[in-house]
Chains A and B, each alone.
Chain A
């Protein structure tokens, strides 16, 4: 909302400068987001009269004028404006005048000059050149009775306008009077209510049936006045200026007055042309289903039975608190008007405004809450202004249909409680002084407490905590003492649920991966790239923002593929990435609604920064596997295994399942070709998906010291020909299962196929390490075990020893 300081000064003493006042208001909760200054006319611009105008000899559009600046001299001025006619009184920037660029650019100084060979001693100005308006059609013509030689700045005093950012709870700030009240509470001075003086109206029963309210639940108070014989015309310049300063377009005197009073006192008002009301009467009721109205914006609205309307005896003439109807508005021919000032239920106005997708300054105020105590005053103020500016006669008394007033809350204020909430020393007296300054009634109870009754416009003050806020706000939050931070432990830190998640991230980062953070909302196609899911499994909000963001991701796959596509298209070809995030599914057989997953992706060169041969090394299956092994070992989860798997997301034969503690915990391998189609990805992509829960709950190896043998190890190698399908894991677990004495490690060191071995067969070679904790092993005993292993391999596994 915008507030003009010139306007504000009508009601309250402004004894601090605009910047300081803005600071004070901001610090007490009324945030001044922006200070806009209407430019002041520079010094040196004076009023002057054009004595004569001649055509410039060397120009089609310039004129040469003789101008009287009021000091007895006559100045020759070259001017390009179309309206520099003799007799006009205009602003003249005399030599030496400096125009400052409002944007902070270069200053512009008026000097003696020659235009197309003719000397010119100053510049006559348009309204825009003086920063007074956007009018640049010609010179600003001043009234003919304007004295000459006077500074123009005296005629156009500058104004400062605040752009206020209001909080939801303070609709009482939605008017100049409302802001003035708080300025008064903060800065003191004098507070003066504008004039509401009205002549007495003769007693009459003519208007007894003027207003009928059939929906008092939605309209607890409705008032009307009738003014006869008004003249609809432009409103005076001062009013137009004030409205323009705060961004409201002047229309005519009657409409401008209703807007002016709304901006002044915060009560939206409406004026009906009484001659356009069927039977000249007003009925406040719920709309009937199927009723329609054309509002002042020229659009048609379908009304429903829950909406409150103002109607005549035939049809709706306004959407209550939102917008008037086109049909009953003020026209140039209007003579008799009904002035409405009312209080509507805020939820009703909000619902109507939302349903019709129609909002206005009026609905903005009613939705937040209009001061019910201001309704009569606003009516009187507007009537006062109408009579003054539009003439006519007030013919009716105030016609009011209202429910009995709801008593204001009485809030118990315990001084100690407020001090405890704020952690600030504030005396009882200071608290009650603050309440009184804010227009609240204070009823002392005893030394410890009092009752506080807020005024009708402070709908936000309903409980003790609200009073604490008022004390903090007015006394100043800067007065909060510096207290030491209390580092109290309220729970075991082992309950910290973020730390284990961060640890998984740390472990993944330590393997060399970069973390991505992708959107949880994706399009259906990307979501279904993960072939585990069907459309029925997807979790979709009923109100997505677009089709691209219509689905809660069922897995991290779609997002990761997007990241890879983005990077590849920007020639970032070597990628080692991961993401951890929430995924969503409606099918409890797949997973219950929401869980966290881990996704890893590898593609491109392993050592892109090196050259020649090294650069051709691409990430492969065993990079991904080794990464997982490193990761799991770093996390202390030793109980893992890998098992060949088949999955449509992965290339056949290049996919494995990760088993943790005997349970499937993830799957990885080379991405199926379908996933990367159209991506211009020329290197194989390896992906891994894991469930975070499985990682977090995996058994951890207790970290106990293992004695280190002081005795040397002995190794023996064994090589054999095995069928091509023979898995490494089969050999190793076969050897380990034999539990041979002092055998501490078995490692594959060679594997190959060639013609001499023959098709369907391969050569495998293992290195066996023997070591004892308590002695140096002799060759004989090692050889004995070694021979046993060889023979077991030959007979148990059926391989052909070499």
Chain B
């Protein structure tokens, strides 16, 4: 069939021409000569109508296939020319240093504060604060500390000439909150506290704490446990278990010490946990009825829990930092790690 031969020869010629095409315009010329408005292939279109009916099907198929073929060949030729052009262009040394976008970092202590607050906010706690210079009432008396409790001595706490002091825990924030508001109260108090410890690898004159307080009509020790369990799982990971041991603090009764599974050994026992598999992470308990009375609450009608955790300790465990002094050196090689 004459028509089919013609189609084949146009495709073959176009193939040769494209193979020898050196520029974009060579390719364009091939395109114009074949499938362009006045192209040889386009000219075959009207002839298709004249094909006898019994051959129409076969011819139509061949025509369409050839057209697709031509389009693909032209496209391919264009792409390889473009690729070649790029290959010859300037080549970057991609291993040269990048121009860094300056991204700062929060101090690890602040990061822990943020993370703790975020976890407790999800449980409905409100984060709040207070001054660091405090009264004896807010820091000790209201918290049921016995008059001769050692923490009240100038050996342990920093005092000023007017009798006030640098708060030795963030618990005064609990007192301030309860004095200002009626129950229910549900707060966490992140902040800085001061104790007269000689600075070394595990002590400093200041440290950071987060304390929690939840007072309502029927808050129980079981609620405390679930709150701290949730915190531990969120902060250290789901596998962390929590155990509570009876303890003693003047401001809570019953008082508990809260241990989390040692994150270093997963509870098997190691140097960090002194082979116990547990790390002491929080002191807590049910708010002592005397504390409630001291802020004008009626312990017959409300009850609740309080807890406190050391931010340095949480941070050191989480990031495996061994020396507390790293926090106050503020060496940027340290700060950049978190």
Interface segment out of the listed B38-46, B53-61, B70-78, B244-252: B244-252
Contact B332 A490 (CB under 8 A): no
Q: Mark B233-274, 1 if CB is under 8 A from A, else 0.
A: 000000000011111100001111100000000000000001
Q: Mark A552-568, 1 if CB is under 8 A from B, else 0.
A: 10000000000100110
- Beyond A485-B226, A566-B329, A566-B331, whether A480 also contacts B110 by CB under 8 A is no
Chain B contacts for A373, CB-based, 8 A: none
Instruction: Name B106-155 residues within 8 Å CB distance of A.
Output: 106-107, 109-110, 113-114, 117, 121-124, 126-129, 131-133, 147-148, 153-154
Chain B interface residue count, Cβ-Cβ cutoff 8 angstroms: 87
Contact A516 B133 (CB under 8 A): no
Contact A420 B220 (CB under 8 A): yes
Q: Could you tell me the distance between the alpha carbons of A611 and B109 in the complex, rounded to whole angstroms?
A: 34
Min CB–CB distance A101 → chain B (angstroms): 17
Min CB–CB distance A423 → chain B (angstroms): 3
Chain A contacts for B226, CB-based, 8 A: 482-485
Pick the contact of A515 from B101, B105, B132, B286 — CB < 8 Å?
B105
Contact B148 A350 (CB under 8 A): yes
Contact A421 B221 (CB under 8 A): yes
Instruction: Name A552-596 residues within 8 Å CB distance of B.
Output: 552, 563, 566-567, 570, 572, 575-578, 581-582, 584, 593-594
Contact B128 A498 (CB under 8 A): yes
Min CB–CB distance A184 → chain B (angstroms): 17
- Beyond A515-B104, A517-B110, A520-B132, whether A545 also contacts B198 by CB under 8 A is yes
A792 at the interface (CB under 8 A from B): no
Chain B contacts for A34, CB-based, 8 A: 274
Q: Could you tell me the distance between the alpha carbons of A594 and B104 in the complex, rounded to whole angstroms?
A: 28
Chain B contacts for A708, CB-based, 8 A: none
Contact B335 A515 (CB under 8 A): yes
A411 at the interface (CB under 8 A from B): no
Contact A354 B160 (CB under 8 A): no
B100 at the interface (CB under 8 A from A): yes
Interface segment out of the listed B1-9, B10-18, B80-88, B182-190: B182-190
Contact A510 B100 (CB under 8 A): no
Contact A496 B121 (CB under 8 A): yes
B209 at the interface (CB under 8 A from A): no
Contact A26 B245 (CB under 8 A): yes
A532 at the interface (CB under 8 A from B): no
A543 at the interface (CB under 8 A from B): yes
Closest to B197 in A: A545
A486 at the interface (CB under 8 A from B): yes
Chain B contacts for A654, CB-based, 8 A: none
Chain A contacts for B253, CB-based, 8 A: 463, 465-466, 468-469
Chain B contacts for A575, CB-based, 8 A: 332
Contact B222 A490 (CB under 8 A): no
A697 at the interface (CB under 8 A from B): no
Contact A566 B330 (CB under 8 A): yes
B31 at the interface (CB under 8 A from A): no
Contact B205 A514 (CB under 8 A): no
Chain A contacts for B113, CB-based, 8 A: 498, 502
B166 at the interface (CB under 8 A from A): yes
Closest to A571 in B: B333
Chain B contacts for A516, CB-based, 8 A: 107, 330, 335
Contact B245 A477 (CB under 8 A): yes
- Beyond A545-B198, A594-B133, A607-B100, whether A420 also contacts B218 by CB under 8 A is yes
Pick the contact of A520 from B121, B192, B245 — CB < 8 Å?
B192
Contact A520 B206 (CB under 8 A): yes
A228 at the interface (CB under 8 A from B): no
Closest to B288 in A: A465
Contact A486 B124 (CB under 8 A): yes
- Beyond A486-B223, A509-B104, whether A498 also contacts B129 by CB under 8 A is yes
Interface segment out of the listed A83-91, A166-174, A236-244, A264-272: A166-174
Q: Could you tell me the distance between the alpha carbons of A493 and B118 in the complex, rounded to whole angstroms?
A: 12
A1 at the interface (CB under 8 A from B): no
B50 at the interface (CB under 8 A from A): no
Pick the contact of B104 from A347, A350, A514, A521 — CB < 8 Å?
A514
Q: Mark A90-126, 1 if CB is under 8 A from B, else 0.
A: 0000000000000000000000000000000000000
Chain A contacts for B248, CB-based, 8 A: 29, 167-170, 460
Contact B245 A421 (CB under 8 A): no
Q: Could you tell me the distance between the alpha carbons of A496 and B105 in the complex, rounded to whole angstroms?
A: 23
Contact B330 A609 (CB under 8 A): no
Min CB–CB distance A127 → chain B (angstroms): 28
Min CB–CB distance A484 → chain B (angstroms): 7
Chain B contacts for A501, CB-based, 8 A: 129
B328 at the interface (CB under 8 A from A): yes
Instruction: Name B291-338 residues within 8 Å CB distance of A.
Output: 303, 327-333, 335-336
Q: Could you tell me the distance between the alpha carbons of A354 and B156 in the complex, rounded to whole angstroms?
A: 13
Pick the contact of A485 from B102, B147, B230, B328 — CB < 8 Å?
B230
| Closest 10 pairs between A and B when the two form their complex, measured CB to CB | A423-B220, A512-B102, A423-B222, A29-B246, A469-B254, A498-B127, A167-B248, A541-B158, A509-B104, A490-B186
List 20 A–B pairs whose Cβ atoms lie within 8 Å, in order of A's numbering. Answer: A28-B246, A29-B248, A465-B286, A465-B288, A482-B222, A485-B223, A497-B129, A499-B117, A512-B103, A515-B335, A517-B328, A518-B330, A520-B206, A541-B159, A544-B158, A575-B332, A578-B104, A593-B131, A594-B131, A609-B99
Residues in chain A within 8 A of chain B (CB atoms): 26-29, 31, 34, 167-170, 346-347, 350-351, 354, 420-424, 460, 463-466, 468-469, 472-473, 477-478, 480-491, 493, 495-499, 501-502, 505-506, 508-521, 539-545, 549, 552, 563, 566-567, 570, 572, 575-578, 581-582, 584, 593-594, 607, 609-611, 614
11 further A-B pairs in the complex, CB-CB below 8 A; given A485-B227, A485-B230, A521-B205: A31-B245, A31-B257, A421-B221, A502-B117, A512-B101, A514-B105, A515-B107, A545-B197, A567-B332, A593-B133, A594-B132
